[in-house]
Amino acid sequence: MLTLISREEDLAVAALPEDVDFFTSAGVRAAGERILDGGCRYLVVDTSPVDYIDSTGITVLLTFWQRLEAAGGALLVAVPDEHLRWRLETLGLAGVMPVAPTLGEAVSRARRFRSMTHRPRRETVEFDAETA
């Protein structure tokens, strides 16, 4: 099951279990859906407990990414294991969802993303000297 580590407003940090496979991915997905249903727009997933992840586990991460992307949020993945990070890069996922080597870096990046999103947007007004 996905374990909630911390929550601050719309930012949640959760850890994957040791095995994320065909047998556990439904529980991981259900737990993640509950977190997202609770107003989470920025989810940091800690993979440090992971010993094994198969394609169903990767699919769960992609499901979270798609839902957060549609909501204007982001999924960030903390991947301290070099081999897992290499696998995510090989699959092209590191180009889709931000991957950080530490949990602290992933949380910092999520906070930056969140602060950029909450800033009021300024409209740019172009000035044309010839028509003024």
List the chain pLDDT tens, one digit each, 132 residues: 999 999 999 999 999 999 999 999 999 999 999 999 999 999 999 999 999 999 999 999 999 999 999 999 999 999 999 999 999 999 999 889 999 999 999 999 999 999 986 543 334 344 445 544
Q: What is the pLDDT of residue 126?
A: 47
Here the tokens at position 122 are: 């300024």
Q: What is the pLDDT of residue 122?
A: 37
pTM across the whole model: 0.85
CATH number of 3-118: 3.30.750.24
Rounded to 5 degrees, φ, ψ at 107 are -65, -40
Which amino acid type is present at position 96? Answer: V
Q: What is the pLDDT of residue 92?
A: 92
